[in-house]
Amino acid sequence: MDCQITFEGELMLINLSGPMTNEDFEDLARLVREAEITRPRIPHRLTDISRLTEIHLTFKSMSERIHLRKHLGFPNEFKSAIFAPEPLHYGVARMFQAVNNHHQIDIQVFREMVAARVWLASDQPSSTGECNF
C-alpha cells in the first residue's frame, strides 16, 4: 500500500492507494501516530481510501490495532473524515468507525469529498452535523 501523509494548513491529509493488508494497516497506524506527535494539537484529518485497489484486512487485525489506540490520551478532541465512495471502501470504513469508539475522536464516513470537507470545516460534531450515510 502507498500512504501519503501531508498537511493542508492544520488539516492532515492521508491518501491511500494500492492493495491494503493487515501489515499495511499496522504501518499506517504507526505513520499517523508519528505525524500526530509532531504537532502541538492533534489535527483534524481527511483520509481518502478511494484508490485502494484491494483490501485484505481482517476484522481481528483492525480491532487489535484500534484497541491499542483506545488507551491513548490526546491533548484535544479531533475529527476524522474518511472518503469512501465505493461500496467495498465504504463498508471497511464503517467497520473502522464502529470499532473505534475513542471519546476524543469523532469519525464519520463520506461518499462525497465535498461533504467530508464541509463537515471538517464546521464546528458541529457529527451528532448534529449532516453526514451522508
Using the predicted structure, report yes or no on whether residue 3 has a pLDDT greater than 50.
yes
Residues 49 and 95: their CA atoms lie apart, in Å, by 14
Predicted confidence band at 125 (pLDDT cuts at 50, 70, 90)? low
Structural domains in the chain plus CATH codes: 2-121 (3.30.750.24)
Return the higher-pLDDT residue of 68 and 33: 33
Predicted confidence band at 126 (pLDDT cuts at 50, 70, 90)? low
Interhelix angle 59-70/22-36, rounded to 10 degrees, is 20
Using the predicted structure, report yes or no on whether residue 19 has a pLDDT greater than 70.
yes
Helix (H) or strand (E) segment spanning residue 94: helix 87-99
